[in-house]
Amino acid sequence: MPIQGHFVEDLRVGQSETFTKTVSERDIQQFAEVTGDVNPVHLDESYAATTRFKTRIAHGMLGAGFISAVIGTKMPGPGTIYLGQTLKFMAPVKIGDTVVARVEVAAISGKRVTLKTTCSVGDTVVIDGEATVMVPSKG
């Protein structure tokens, strides 16, 4: 993924960027290994079949990581520091789903920027939230 970035002076309310990723079995396995979150709803098809989802689902924080990818590499980009993030998990993500993470500039106050953050699968918002970040300045 190419890395680009914006200084705070270059940002405008309404500006946005996206990152798209199709979730694979390998993504879920690696996320479980790295984080230690081995909840069987993510890893065990037999167990997951007994849940309301009826099949395995991706970790919610894996999707949140796609938001972080946008913030750190595209909008605002390199040098941006996360100060806070709210997340509402609205719907499950399954293996094979293509997730589009979108970050939109909502407000700018000095070097602090508020971003509307969403992840969608098709027309369904699966994660909704807001991030506060500190963005590098030209000066």
pLDDT band at 1 (very low <50, low <70, confident <90, very high): low
Computed over every residue of the chain, the mean pLDDT equals: 96
Q: Which long-range contacts (CB under 8 A, 24 or more apart) does 45-53 make?
A: 53/92, 53/94
Fold held by 8-134: Thiol Ester Dehydrase; Chain A (3.10.129)
pLDDT tens digits, residue range 17-73? 999 999 999 999 999 999 999 999 999 999 999 999 999 999 999 999 999 999 999
**Distance (Å, whole) CA 11 – CA 106:** 10
- The per-residue pLDDT for 139 is 77
**Distance (Å, whole) CA 126 – CA 60:** 9
- The per-residue pLDDT for 2 is 62
Helical H runs in 8-94? 25-35, 40-43, 45-48, 60-73
pLDDT band at 3 (very low <50, low <70, confident <90, very high): confident
Domain boundaries, the chain: 8-134
